[in-house]
Structure 1
Amino acid sequence: MKNQSINFIKEGIQKRRIRWILVTSILTVLACILACAMLLLGNTFYPVQDVIQALSGEQIQGVSFAVSTLRLPRMLAGLFAGFAFGAGGYIFQTLLRNPLANPNVIGITAGSSAAAVFCIVILHTSYAVVSIAAVVAGLVTVLIIYLLAKGSSFSIGRIILVGIGIQAMLNAFISYILLIGDEQDIPSAMRWLSGSLNGSQMEELPSLMITVLLFSPVLVLLGKRLNMLELGEQAATSLGVHTDKTRIALILASVCMIAIATATTGPIAFVAFLSGPIATRLAGAGFSNIIPAGLVGVNLVLASDLIGQFAFEVRFPVGIITGLLGAPYLIYLLIRMNRKGDL
């Protein structure tokens, strides 16, 4: 009987592992297809051979400029920002054990956005300064939310409510900056606030790429400890997890990725909100879904950008499309949580 139970558990783990690998592989292949589509499609369709030659450094009239200067930076920005938003959103939702506890809702993205808009509209600083300001503002926002929500005991609901209040205040600050800013700066700021891959340049991407490549392995290595934290403070501690250190490491890595992504592409709506639940539904529970969530974020951003470019007569920024996808899910989630009494 004991051996049968052990075999049953092993079979279950093996099935979940196979499912996780299969889903991750499919998401990776889909992301590669969408990335290739972004290089091939535009005002002019270029054959695969011409695109490969242009990427290898050969000068082909018309193709080299369109692919290397316009399409490649746009694709890379969507790829790395999508992964940052997806993985970062999953971390916050898992840490706080609430699907509403994502960077968009609890004000972290708004903190980075407020700093970036202030630098763009008021200070007219370089991209490097905008990136630094976005990261610092994101970390400060997390600290303020924690301090204001800290009471006699840790409360997830209190953190979410304080975060929503901070977000409203920061959005008001952003609106004020736009009101007092110069007219010539408003269109670029508004385009950036909607979340857009338009105008992405290669010189702006190294900080985003390095940040994602640096912190993603950290998140993956801490994935098992993150799953243990879901069991509760006492259970995680009994399993040998240093809960405070693990939370700090996860939050710092996630905020840095999200803040740099926000400074690069703007706050692409609902990607951090949707990626975690979709990844968990596809890959199932039992294993860390940080990588699947990041890949879902990549696919959401790349697919939404292609839809925004080619599905309508007027081209829309990627954030508009992700907003159209995410808003109905948010309403559905709020209704479901209200019926369960979680709100």
Structure 2
Amino acid sequence: MSRIDFGRPTVLVRNRALSGLVDLRSVVVCALLLIAALAVAVIALATGDYDVSIAEVLQAFTGQAPGLAQMIVMEWRLPRVLSSLLFGAALGISGGVFQSMTRNPLGSPDIIGFNTGAYTGALIVMLTLGGSYAGVATGALVGGMLTAVAVYLLAFRHGSQGLRLIIVGIGISAMLAAFNHWLILQAELEAALAAAVWGAGSLNGITWEQASPAAVVIFAVAVATLAVARRMQLLEMGDDAARALGVRAEPTRLLLLVLGVALTAAVTAVAGPIAFVALAAPQLARRLTKSAGITLVPAALMGAFLLAASDLAAQRLFAPIQLPVGVVTVCIGGIYLVWLLAREARKS
């Protein structure tokens, strides 16, 4: 059954399992973002030092491509392309969670410091304990969680407030960044160089062995986050209104904090701290959908498109030299951040 609302086109979906309004503009935007992300993925799979035709790319998925093309597409390029899409979606969701919690477009894990905390945990493992993949992943998760706990406790006063979270997070991020630099300066030259390159945020050389565990974690956490998205949107109305509608404000906020940090840490564990995707994706998606608040599915698709496009640019701009994708996202994100700050200044 469908119904059109003349204020904003919607479709009423009603069946035994699901009932609710679906915004048509959001559906169209999500479809276009998905098509754009897949188009970038196909280009990334087909182009490089050895070009593969689109037909051979499609044949590779059925195992029918010529031997070399099959290996290039499925073993060399596909892990990186899928990782860029999945990691971008994870960062988009994480940024959406924190911007919704803080009710501020600057409230992302990049700004609040959770990326930096995850990087600190991973660095400690890499430089002091040998740096196995499992160890780095665990260090990133623990570092991100400890940073989140510190920011939450220091910002808590009769309930956590968005602006306090951002200010406290910026301060902790600055201290952790200084500590990270000290760790690198104290390390052996080879280990320091490897840590510094990884710290720029890179998908170079990623394999199925690295991507698969991260994909499982990200998928599970993303599903859990989307399951509480309705409560997140009710919190945007204010704690009193949310409580009146049956949402326990602080427990829900703490759950969202844990889920958002877990998404960021899972990406950081594999690719390093990739900056600005989490900051830009939710706001760009919100402007395209013209929604009243943050919606996570468009944010995820925008994040997937941004990171996949940035990684393609990182591979091709100065080929055969491959840049860390974080270099490209920092350039794009820096322009976006200047525009955002200027826009907020004009508003005030």
| Counterparts of 1:94 and 1:243, CA distance in 2 | 13
Q: What are the superposed Cα offsets for residues 287-323 of structure 1, whole Å, 9 maximum, x if unpaired?
A: 7620110111111111111112213355322111111
Is the 2:152–2:160 contact (alpha carbons within 8 Å) kept by the matching residues of 1? no
| Counterparts of 1:225 and 1:300, CA distance in 2 | 27
Is the 2:122–2:138 contact (alpha carbons within 8 Å) kept by the matching residues of 1? no
| Counterparts of 1:318 and 1:306, CA distance in 2 | 8
Q: What are the superposed Cα offsets for residues 190-242 of structure 1, whole Å, 9 maximum, x if unpaired?
A: 22111111010110112221122112222222222211111101011111112
1:334 aligns with 2:330: no
Moved more, 243-252 or 34-43: 243-252
The Cα shift of 1:286 comes to 4.7
Q: Match for 2:8 among 4, 7, 12?
A: 12
Moved more, 172-181 or 331-340: 331-340
The sequence identity of aligned pairs, in percent, is 35
Q: What are the superposed Cα offsets for residues 47-88 of structure 1, whole Å, 9 maximum, x if unpaired?
A: 233334444446844323322332111112111111111110
Is the 1:78–1:197 contact (alpha carbons within 8 Å) kept by the matching residues of 2? yes
| Counterparts of 2:64 and 2:132, CA distance in 1 | 31
The Cα shift of 1:17 comes to 0.7
Higher relative contact order (CA 8 A, sep 6+): 1
Is the 1:35–1:75 contact (alpha carbons within 8 Å) kept by the matching residues of 2? yes
- In the TM superposition, 1:1-343 aligns within 5 A as 11-12=7-8, 14=10, 17-57=23-63, 60-152=66-158, 154-286=160-292, 289-312=295-318, 314-341=321-348
| Counterparts of 1:220 and 1:10, CA distance in 2 | 28
Change in 2 beyond 3 A, CA 1:252/1:154: closer
Q: Which residue pairs with 2:16 in the alignment? A: none
Could you tell me which runs of 5 or more consecutive residues in structure 2 were left unpaired when the two chains were aligned.
12-21
Is the 1:276–1:293 contact (alpha carbons within 8 Å) kept by the matching residues of 2? yes
Query: What amino acid is the match of 1:282?
Result: L
Q: TM-score, normalised by structure 2?
A: 0.90
Corresponding residue SS for 1:12: coil
| Counterparts of 1:253 and 1:154, CA distance in 2 | 17
Query: What amino acid is the match of 2:34?
Result: T
Could you tell me which runs of 5 or more consecutive residues in structure 1 were left unpaired when the two chains were aligned.
1-6
Is the 2:286–2:293 contact (alpha carbons within 8 Å) kept by the matching residues of 1? no
Is the 2:36–2:305 contact (alpha carbons within 8 Å) kept by the matching residues of 1? yes
Query: What amino acid is the match of 2:254?
Result: I
Corresponding residue SS for 1:62: helix
Change in 2 beyond 3 A, CA 1:88/1:153: closer
Is the 1:208–1:257 contact (alpha carbons within 8 Å) kept by the matching residues of 2? no
Moved more, 316-325 or 49-58: 49-58
Change in 2 beyond 3 A, CA 1:167/1:202: same
The Cα shift of 1:44 comes to 1.1
Moved over 4 A (4+): 7-11
The alignment of Structure 1 onto Structure 2 pairs a total of residues equal to: 335
Query: What amino acid is the match of 1:120?
Result: M
